[in-house]
Amino acid sequence: MGNEIVVTEKLAAEHGLTAEEFARVRGILGRDPTFTELGIFSVQWSEHCSYKSSRIHLKRLPTGGPQVVEGPGENAGAVDIGEGLCAVFKIESHNHPSFVEPFQGAATGVGGILRDIFTMGARPIAVLDSLRFGPVTAAPGVAAEVVARNRRILDGVIRGISFYGNCFGVPTVGGEIEFEPCYSRNPLVNVLALGIARRDGLFLAKARGENNPVVYVGARTGRDGIHGASLLASAEFDERSAEKRPNVQVADPFMEKLLLEACLEAMASGAVVAIQDMGAAGLTCSTSEMASRGGTGIEIDLARVPRRESGMTPYEIMLSESQERMLLVAERGRQGELMDVFRKWGLEAVEIGKVTADGQMRVLETGRVAAEIPAHPLCEEGPAYARPIAQAVTKPVSLADFAPEGKPLTEGLERVLASPSIASKRWVWEQYDYTVRTNTVLGPGRADAAVMRVKGTRRGLALSTDGNGRWCRLDPYLGAMHAVAESARNVAASGARPLAATNCLNFGNPEKPEVMWQFSRAIDGVAEACKALGTPITGGNVSFYNETLGEPIDPTPVIGILGLLDDVSTALGMRFRAEGDVIVLLDAAAADAACLPRETLAREFSSSEYAKTVRGVAAGAPPAIDLAAEKRLMNLLTELASERLVVSAHDISSGGLAVALAECAFGAGGLAPVVELAGNAPAESALFGERGARAVVSIEPARLARLRAAAAKYGVQAQALGRVGREGFRIAYNDREIVRAPVGRLEDLWSNSLESALVLPLPAAG
C-alpha cells in the first residue's frame, strides 16, 4: 500500500486527532494509516460527524413511539400521518460555514437538509429556519463595526437561504430570528426541512447485496469544502477564521432540483437498493456509513469519480464536500435503468464501485489501494467521551424593579414591540417564496406555526421552531423544557396535535466542563418535556464549538415540533377577525401562579424580553414550568380548532400578554383589544411576564359558554378579558388604564423598526 506522506502523531494532531485517537486508528488498522486514511478518520471522527462528546448524553432522549417510523440514525426522522403516508423531517446547523462565508454557508445548509429529506424517498414541501445574530441596530456598548459586521452576516445568510430555496422550488414558510451580543462572532443558522413520502416507499442508507453496483450521480467533485462542515464545526474560531473561506462549499440549487426529480424517479423504479447523500465528509461519509449500516463493505475506484479539477489526490476526492452529489446502491443488472433516468434529467451518473461482503471500505486509485478501513469501526467505534461536567460559578446580579402601580406602560410596550427580537421579520420572509408548490395554508406572520396541506388528503401538517438562549444561560434545564413547550404550544395554537420533535443543539466548547454541564442539563430538560408532551425526538444535530476567542454563545437548543391536523381547513391563525368578538385568556396553570410571592415574580420577570429591552436587565431565572398544564392547554387548543369554536388563537410567550394581544391586532384591519385585567401581581408582571401554559383566543360571544365548558373539561381557566374593538389599543389593570395607543402607531413601530434599520446602506467592511 502506497504511503507517500509519512503519517506521524504531529500530522494526526494537525488533523484534529488526539494521541489516544491516533493510537486507536493504528489498532483498528493494525498498522500506520496512509495519508488518505488519516484524512478519512479525521473527518469521520470529527465532532461534527461522530458526536463524540454528545453520544452518551443523547441516549437519554426519548426516541420511540407508535407514530415513529424512523428515528435517529437515518438521514431524517419519519412519523406516520395516516393514509399510508409519512412526514419526514429534520433540523441541522450550518453555523460555522455561515460565519466564514454567510451566503454560501447558509445556501449549502439549505441544500444539505433538503438532500437529507429526499434521500429518504420524500418530496420536500417546506423549509423553516431558526437564526441567531449579534446586534444589527445601534445599542449601548456595541461598537459600530460590530453592528456593521453583524448586518453583513445577516444579509448574506438571508440571501443565501432565499437563493437556494427559491431556485430549488421549496417554500420557506417559517422559523424565528433572535438577536443577542453572544452571537456576534458565532451566528446560528439552523434549517429544518419537511417532506412527504409513502410509508412503504421510504429508503434507507444501508448497502446490501454483494456485487451490487455503487453509482455516483450529480455534480462533479472539486476542491471546495475539503475539511468543510466536518472540521469547521469541530473547533473554536480565532483571529484566522476568515482564512477558512475556501473550506465552505459552493451551492447549485438548480443542480439539486434535477437531482431531486431524478432520484425520486429512480427510487420509484425499484432499482435502488440504498441511497445516501454526500454531505459533511463527502464520499467518506456516504461510502462508510452505507456499508456500516448494511453490515457489508464497499469498494470504489476513484479513477471513475467525475471531477471538475485536475490533479486531485485520493485525499482530496474522499474529503471533498462538493454539493449536489448522491451515492446509490443499485440492484445488480438494473443499473442501466438508473443511468437512463439520470441521463433524462441531464445528470452525470457513473458506476464507481460495488458492494462487498468483507466489511471493508476500500478506496482504489488507478489500481492502487489508497485506503482500506473496516467500515463498522470507522463509523460506530469512534471515540466517545464522558467529558468533565461542572457548573460555572455565577456572580450575583441585581433583579429588575417593578414600576410604581398605576404608572402608564404604553411607552414600555412600544419599546418592546420595536425591539429586534420582537419586531416584525417581514423584511426577511418577503425575500422567500413561501407559497411555491401551493401547499402553504398559513405562512409567515399569519399563525404561531406554519401550516401545510397534504395534497390528496384533507390533512395538514404544522411546524414550529423555538429556542431561548438567554433562558438556557440562566437555567439550561428549565430553558430547554420551555423551548419544547413553546414550540409544541405554537403547533397546538394553529390547531394541530403535536406529534414529534427534531432538535438542533447549539453550544460552546465541549472540552470546557461548564459547557458540558449546560449541555447535559439541557438534554435532561428536552427529554423530560418531550416525554411529558408525547413528542419523541426523531433526529437532529449537535453543534459544538460555537465560540470565538474563548467567548461562547448562550446555550441554544432549538426544537422543531411537527403537528398533525386531521382537517387542514380547521387551522387557526392568530389575527382578530371581527369587531365584538370576545377575547379570552386560556390559562392552564392559573391556580399555581396566583399566589406567587413578589420575589419570585421579580426573578422571573428579570429574564423577560421587557426587562432586557426596557430595564437593561437579563438576569433571574426562566418562569417555572408545569408540563402537565402545558399538555392540557394543547389538548384544549386542538379541540377548539377541530370543533371550530374559536376564530383565532395565539400563545403567550416572548413579550407576555401585552405583546400577544398586539400581535393578534396587527394585520387585522384596525381591530384592536379593549381589555380589563385584575390581579395582585405588579402590572408589569401581569402584562409582560412570560409564564407559559397560556394562550389568547377570540370567539363569537354566543359561543363563550361552550368554550368555558370545553376549558373546564381540561382543567383550564378561561377568563374573558374584553372584546375586539375599533377604538384603539387599550388595557386597564385594576380599574386603571395603563396602556392606550392607536393600533396603527403600534403596528408601524412593530412593522418598520427593524426593517428601517436594515435597509440603510451597509457600512464598508473595515
Catalytic (active-site) positions = 48, 94
Going by C-alpha positions, the residue among 533, 479, 534, 535 that lies closest to residue 506 is 479
- DSSP characters over 31-61: SPPPHHHHHHHHHHTSHHHH-TTTHHHHTTS
Going by C-alpha positions, the residue among 50, 173, 187, 165 that lies closest to residue 114 is 165
Could you tell me the sign of the dihedral formed by the alpha carbons of 707, 709, 714, 715, in that order?
positive
CA distance 473 to 391: 11
CA distance 481 to 527: 8
Element (H, E) at 466: strand 460-466
Element (H, E) at 624: none
- DSSP characters over 66-84: TTEEE-BTBSSEEEEEETT
Rounded to 10°, the helix 144-168/743-758 angle is 100
Q: Say if residues 573 and 442 touch (Cβ distance below 8 Å).
A: yes
Q: Which residues of 416-436 are buried (b: 16+ CB within 10 A; e: fewer)?
A: bbbbbbbbbbebbbebbbbeb
Element (H, E) at 323: none
Going by C-alpha positions, the residue among 44, 81, 24, 355 that lies closest to residue 208 is 355
Facing residues of 452 across strands?
A: 440, 461
Element (H, E) at 64: none
Neighbours of 306 (CB within 10 A): 15
Pairing of strands 325-330, 272-277: antiparallel
Q: Say if residues 463 and 561 touch (Cβ distance below 8 Å).
A: yes
